[in-house]
Amino acid sequence: MTEKKQKRNNEEDLALKFSLFYKELRKKKKSEWDRVLPFNEYIVDRWEKAKFVKTGKNSSIYDSSYIYGDVVIGKNTWVGPFTLLDGSGGKLSIGDYCSISSGVQIYTHDSVKWAITGGKASYEKDSVKIGNCCYVGPHSIILKGTKIGKHSIIGAHAFVNSDIPSNSIVFGIPAKVVGKIKINGSKVVLKYFEKKKKYFK
């Protein structure tokens, strides 16, 4: 057998073993959790990734999440897939018991003025803080310099470019407060400013 043929056989054997390994992982995850995931999510432990970036206890971060710079995440917080957490322009702080949904992007810098001046202006930078017990809906964008108060809901696709008070329901582009949240133990009441508009039932 030639060296070239031996190499090809070894590659085919490795590919077969890899395929069988993948199918076994996929079958196990489907059986345990009724989920079918991208390959990387079968081999990366979300809780181990969270520990690596020194989050609080019991937090998890999907492998497909990008994390840059100074990012601090509290305990029991879930960071979903395809998220971007940018702490390169200042501290990005996310509290305890938060849900950061799929596709959320949070920035502590922007290059707008740098780009339009042909590099004459500097990047603009500022920190972002998200309080405890917040839900950030899918594909929301949170800009530099914003603070989101605790117990708030940021609706899907919201564009947050200003501070949000605690216990707020927020939607829109740009995001605006459309209601308030009242919490009594495990009971949650969502009160909207316009009675006809109910984003969450």
- The C-alpha atoms of residue 47 and residue 57 are separated, in whole angstroms, by 9
Q: Does 194 score more than 80 pLDDT?
A: no
Position 4 scores a pLDDT of 73
Chain segment 59-103, per-residue pLDDT in tens: 999 999 999 999 999 999 999 999 999 999 999 999 999 999 999
Chain segment 99-116, per-residue pLDDT in tens: 999 999 999 999 999 999
Q: What is the mean pLDDT of the chain?
A: 93
Reading the block at residue 72, the tokens are 């601090």
